[in-house]
Amino acid sequence: MADIAANVARVQARIADAAARAGRRPGDVRLIAVTKTVDPGRIREAASCGLREFGENRVQEARDKVPAVPGATWHLIGHLQRNKAKEALRLFAMIQSVDSRALAEEVSRRAAATQARIDVLIEVNISGETAKHGVAPEDAEALARDVAELGGVRLCGLMAMAPLVEDAEDTRPYFRRLRELRDRIRDAHPEAGVRELSMGMSNDFEVAVEEGATMVRVGRALFA
């Protein structure tokens, strides 16, 4: 418990310092605790330290974890297969990894069938790496236009992963590019309320906060 409590306090302080450097309020940045490979007991410890939002990479891993942490809000941050959309809607409050019109339509259809509407982010492959999921940056605005028209989803913003680099400062151009892309989409669809930027992980979240992240997805720095 002490280790997780100390890690949570340390990460929150680093977020606050990064926000201050950018002239932002720490409260404008949501800490999403990434629970990939983390057992439910450790997640409950993190929740007892004040964390309320958790991110899981796979639907099948979330099945046991979500019921084990009552009152938490869960985000799907990994790739979603269309055949798991129905179950994802049962487990998650937000799907951060919508990367195609076909997936968005399936999620929307499943949500609308239960008279629900789920928050989504469009995942952008901002680094251009072939091993990463996400829509190409040049196609993101068109996808955002399509998603914004669907009745079962609520387009809230964008998500991306910067490339893994030794110096976190090298991620800054990628985060800046995502912010600029979000701003263009927000200006084009003011009715959609597109504001979220989910970017930054354990190795680079401070740079992401400085560049405008509204959510950072942190696992190793909390649970290692």
174-188: per-residue pLDDT in tens? 999 999 999 999 998
Rounded Cα distance, 104 and 120, in Å:
9
User: Which CATH fold topology does 2-223 show?
Assistant: TIM Barrel (3.20.20)
Residues of the chain below pLDDT 50: none
Token pair for 21: 């450097």
pLDDT at 206 (0 to 100)? 98
pTM for the structure as a whole = 0.96
pLDDT at position 189: 82
Contact between 85 and 97 (Cβ < 8 Å): no
Distance CA 187, CA 177 (A): 15
Q: Are 118 and 94 in contact (CB under 8 A)?
A: yes
pLDDT in tens, 40-60: 999 999 999 999 999 999 999
Query: How many other C-beta atoms can be found within 10 angstroms of the C-beta atom of residue 166?
Result: 7
Task: Write the secondary structure of the chain as one string of H (helix), E (strand) and C (coil).
Answer: CHHHHHHHHHHHHHHHHHHHHCCCCHHHCEEEEECCCCCHHHHHHHHHCCCCEEEECCHHHHHHHHHHCCCCEEEECCCCCHHHHHHHHHHCCEEEEECCHHHHHHHHHHHHHCCCCEEEEEEECCCCCCCCCCECHHHHHHHHHHHHCCCCEEEEEEECCCCCCCCHHHHHHHHHHHHHHHHHHHHHCHHHCCCEEECCCCCCHHHHHHCCCCEEEECHHHHC
* CA-based radius of gyration for the chain: 17
pLDDT (0 to 100) of residue 20: 98
Contact 89, 116 (CB under 8 A): yes
Q: Domain ranges for the chain, please list them.
A: 2-223
